[in-house]
Amino acid sequence: MKRDIMLLACALALAVPAWAQGKRLIPSSEQATAGYLSSQLLLKPCADIGALGFADDENAQRSAAAARKALPAGTCANAALVEKLFKARFLLNATPAMINDPWRLDPQIVRQEQAIGRCQDTQCLARELDRTIAVLSPVYLGARQQWPRGKGLCTGEPAETPANKVLALLAPDSSKAITDACAEDEVLATTCRGPHGKWLFVSCAMSGNQVNAQQWLFRASKTPPEPLFATEEGPLAVLETTCNSMPDLMTSARVSVGEHFLSYYRYDGKTYRQVYSYSSEFVGTDANGNDLMIALGGVDSQVVCR
């Protein structure tokens, strides 16, 4: 991998991100040394570009100069302020990756970022960085993230269903979409019952080192089954939160070693819509060996929950 694309990537090659196992700590800047150059400059805009291995890269030099220029004069000359800037920016970008309803936190993130961005001197910057760290530290440290296993759709384990029977039940356009994506002998289907009726899950079988597969969700209590959700970014997880009486969903797609793309969906009364998405990028490990992940993305659309 070209050094101007990645500084370092050393996370496990999993279909979903590795959730923290030990006690989480707020890292120091010295512990966040991995990730894209753009991510390094986001977290550490005062970093020595030469020490990062880009001393002869003109594009990297320009990016570093722009990152420093956006700061109040004198910021990079104050070591304590530089470290405080890292901690605040880390929390702003890492905390959304620690929770399963990042849209709830997004307004707070935006307010803190705007307050920091308005600062014209180091006194204001220090004050707003302190406020950001005070607000987000408890959220980041208190989150206990795990792969969601909400029961809002199924009250029991899904049962396997023959693919040929499923395809025969579906409307022609739905059946065609599935067979266009995966051969009939590669179609996997399960059904379950829950508080909102009978559900049908369909996906393409994965092979080799494949970690993402197309998936569909149908309300099977209707004839033909009603399509509510489709994605190429599996696996699919059901969240504990709800919108319009239906559980929220999320997917996690492996992009590369050390990077995943997470998307969140909420029910708008007719179908599921993507409301929030971000790239989860590995940037190092804390003192307890927990992966440090930052979330780069944000709100995609608004769904009114009644």
Average pLDDT of the chain is 88
Q: Above pLDDT 90, what percent of the chain? A: 70
Q: Token pair for residue 176?
A: 């065609």
Distances (CA, A) of 76 to 60, 66, 134: 18, 13, 22
pLDDT of residue 3: 30
Please state which of the ranges 73-82, 133-142, 194-203, 226-235 shows the lowest mean pLDDT. 226-235
Mean pLDDT of 256-273: 92
| Residue 187 · residue 167 · CB < 8 Å | yes
Sign of CA dihedral 94, 43, 255, 285: negative
Task: Give the whole-angstrom CA distance, residue 97 versus residue 294.
Answer: 6
Sign of CA dihedral 141, 147, 151, 156: negative
Please state which of the ranges 20-34, 57-71, 95-109, 214-228 shows the lowest mean pLDDT. 20-34
Instruction: Tell which wins on pLDDT, 124 or 153.
Output: 124
What residues contact 248, with CB distance under 8 A and at least 6 apart? 101, 238, 239, 241, 242, 264, 265, 266, 267
Sign of CA dihedral 269, 272, 278, 284: positive
Among 117, 123, 101, 140, which residue's Cα sits nearest to residue 247? 101
Structure confidence by residue, pLDDT tens digits, 54-76: 888 999 999 999 999 999 999 99
Give the pTM. Answer: 0.86
* 3-state SS string for the chain: CCCCCCCECCCCCCCCCCCCCCCCCCCCHHHCCCECHHHHHHHCCCCCCCCCCCCCCHHHHHHHHHHHHCCCCCHHHCHHHHHHHHHHHHHHHHHHHHCCCHHHHHHHHHHHHHHHHCCCCHHHHHHHHHHHHHHHHHHHHHCCCCCCCCCCCCCCCCEECCHHHHHHHCCHHHHHHHHHHCCHHHEEEEEEEECCEEEEEEEECCCCCCCCCCEEEEECCCCCCEEEEEECCCCEEEEEEEECCEEEEEEEEEEECCEEEEEEEEECCCCEEEEEEEEEEEEEECCCCCEEEEEEEEECCCCCCC
pLDDT of residue 56: 86
Is the per-residue pLDDT at 201 higher than 60? yes
